[in-house]
Amino acid sequence: DQQVKQNSPSLSVQEGRISILNCDYTNSMFDYFLWYKKYPAEGPTFLISISSIKDKNEDGRFTVFLNKSAKHLSLHIVPSQPGDSAVYFCAASGGTSYGKLTFGQGTILTVHP
Amino acid sequence: EAGVTQFPSHSVIEKGQTVTLRCDPISGHDNLYWYRRVMGKEIKFLLHFVKESKQDESGMPNNRFLAERTGGTYSTLKVQPAELEDSGVYFCASSQDRGLSYNEQFFGPGTRLTVL
C-alpha cells in the first residue's frame, strides 16, 4: 500500500512559468512533509518542508501548500528555470515511525528555455 | 564539511553472490538511514540506526539483508545471496539529532546495484 502518491510521472513547463507538482497521502499520522529534488547520478537533496500545523511555507521561488483535510500537498516553483529540471520527490514523516521518510514515486520536471 | 559518501558507486554481480555496500555519514550525525529505489519507483525505507543501535528495521525486505553500524560511525549493508529483484539504487542518509520532531536527512549519491 503506497501511503504517498505522486500521480503525475512527468511535467513539462516553459521557462518563466509556474510549475505545480502535486502529492497525495493516506496516513493521517504524518505530521511533517518534505520535497526533495534529485539530479541524475546524485542523491536527493532537501528542497523545502512544511509541518502539519501550517498550510503554507515559502522559500524564495519555492512554496509548499498543505491541505490536511484533503491529504494533499503541492509544490509551486515560480518562476521556473531550466536548472529546475530534475526529479522531485514528495516525502512524509510522522506517527510511530520516528525519522523514517515515506516517499512518493517522483515527478520528472522539465523546464524548457 | 564532507557530505554523505557511499561506496561503491556501482556494483554488478551475479545472482547468488554477496555484495557489501558502505556508507559514511556526515561526521557527528547519530542517525543513519538506508533506503532503496527499485526500477524508477518510489524511494523505500529500509532501516534506521541511532548510533550503533537499530531503531527501526521494518523496511528490510528479508533476512538476506544485513546492516551493521559498528562503533556508530560508518555502516555496511550486506546482501547475501543476491537475487535479481535486489537490483536498484541504494541510498544512505544521515541526520543530526537536534531534539526536533523531524531532523533533515542528507543523502549520499547512492550505490547502483545490478544483479544479473
Per-residue pLDDT reduced to its tens digit, A65-81: 999 999 999 999 999 99
CA distance B100 to chain A (A): 10
Q: Which residues of B touch A44 (CB under 8 A)?
A: 43, 91, 107
Q: What percent of chain B has pLDDT over 90?
A: 84
Reply yes or no on whether the pLDDT at B99 is more than 90.
no
Type of residue numbered B116: L
A88 near B CB under 8 A: no
Q: Which residue of B has its CA nearest to A35?
A: B104
Q: Comparing B104 with B1, which gets the higher pLDDT? A: B104
Reply yes or no on whether the pLDDT at A86 is more than 80.
yes
Q: Do A100 and B48 touch (CB under 8 A)?
A: yes
What average pLDDT score do residues B66-75 get? 93
Q: Do B103 and A2 touch (CB under 8 A)?
A: no
Reply yes or no on whether the pLDDT at B57 is more than 80.
yes
Helix (H, G, I), strand (E, B) or coil at B39: coil
Rounded Cα gap, residues A32 and B102, in angstroms: 7
A104 near B CB under 8 A: yes
Reply yes or no on whether the pLDDT at A97 is more than 80.
no
What average pLDDT score do residues B5-26 get? 97
Q: Comparing A98 with B54, which gets the higher pLDDT? A: B54
Helix residue spans in A5-113 (DSSP H): none
Q: State the best of B32, B106, B107 to mutate against chain A, taking most chain A CBs within 10 Å.
A: B107
Reply yes or no on whether the pLDDT at A24 is more than 90.
yes
User: What is the Cβ-side half-sphere exposure of residue A17, based on CA atoms within 13 angstroms?
Assistant: 12
Q: Which residue of A has its CA nearest to B39?
A: A105
Task: Quote the pLDDT of residue A96.
Answer: 65
Task: Quote the pLDDT of residue B104.
Answer: 85
User: Which triple of cell numbers denotes residue B104?
Assistant: 533533515
Q: Which residue of A has its CA nearest to B106?
A: A45
Residue B47: enclosing H or E segment and its boundaries? Answer: strand B43-50
Rounded Cα gap, residues A98 and B31, in angstroms: 11
